[in-house]
Amino acid sequence: MITLHHVQYSRSFRVLWLLEEIGLDRVGGLELVEHRIGTPEMAQSDLQRLSPALRIPAIETSDGVRMSESGAIVQYLTARYAPDLARPADHPEGPAYLQWLHYAETQASLIENLNLQMVFLRPPAKPSPVVVKLQVARLRQTLRGLEKAMQSDWLLASGFSAADIMLGFNLFAAPFFVRMDEFPKLNAYVARMQARPAYQRCVEREGPQRFYAQDFYPVPEA
């Protein structure tokens, strides 16, 4: 049994999607503990026992494993339950697998900063046009690099992997800040992700997203 502390359409979506790809029966079942970011209930919950930074996601297994950080959780779960979704270091694609796994966090950190500026700030606080413009430009560059690298249906020529899961969360969030018209390969890539039954089960569980209040956040005027 795995207990997952979760916020809708956050980095914990990666873990939920991975568990669906693995099969909930293979991990002994899933208990989902849902939180709302910034609430007193989240701060006072059992999450503080599992996540030193009081951040999502965090997991606890029935045999006592406690972890936070989505990338670390994904690496652990694939090693334990689904090695076919990873690539070992001595595999020809092992270095590329690790590269993309951590590229996803470079990209996600930019999205997180944009979320802080454009979603979390409340009046009278205002986002910084200079900072937002810079973060959007950096996010767009990571998307251009990914677009250029896409040479097959998935990140690795050998097929779908946990690296695709790590990036999938980012590609859900990036269109709120970057127009995606210039990325035809990435748009097709997202469509392939969305067609996977495990992804669809996650979206059905999540329901309509409640985080973003508008479809697109332009760079604010100076």
- Assign 123 a pLDDT band (cuts: 50, 70, 90): confident
Q: What is the pLDDT of residue 139?
A: 98
Domain assignment present for residue 110? The answer is yes
Residue that wins the pLDDT comparison between 40 and 67: 67
- 65-100: per-residue pLDDT in tens? 999 999 999 999 999 999 999 999 999 999 999 999
For the chain, how many structural domains are there in total?
2
Q: What is the pLDDT of residue 222?
A: 74
Domain hosting residue 64, numbered range: 2-85
- Average per-residue pLDDT in the chain? 94
Q: What is the pLDDT of residue 52?
A: 87
For the chain, percent of residues with pLDDT exceeding 90: 80
Three-state SS annotation for the chain: CEEEEECCCCCHHHHHHHHHHHCCCCCCCEEEEECCCCCHHHHCCCHHHHCCCCCCCEEEECCCCEEECHHHHHHHHHHHHCHHHCCCCCCCCHHHHHHHHHHHHHHHHHHHHHHHHHHHCCCCCCCCHHHHHHHHHHHHHHHHHHHHHCCCCCCCCCCCCHHHHHHHHHHHHHHHCCCCCCCHHHHHHHHHHHHCHHHHHHHHHHCCCCCCCCCCCCCCCC
Here the CATH number for the domain that contains residue 129 is: 1.20.1050.10
Q: Identify whether residues 81 and 98 lie together within a single domain.
A: no
pTM of the model: 0.93
Q: Identify whether residues 71 and 106 lie together within a single domain.
A: no
**Spatial CA neighbour of 20 closest among 32, 34, 35:** 32
Residue 174 has pLDDT above 90, yes or no: yes
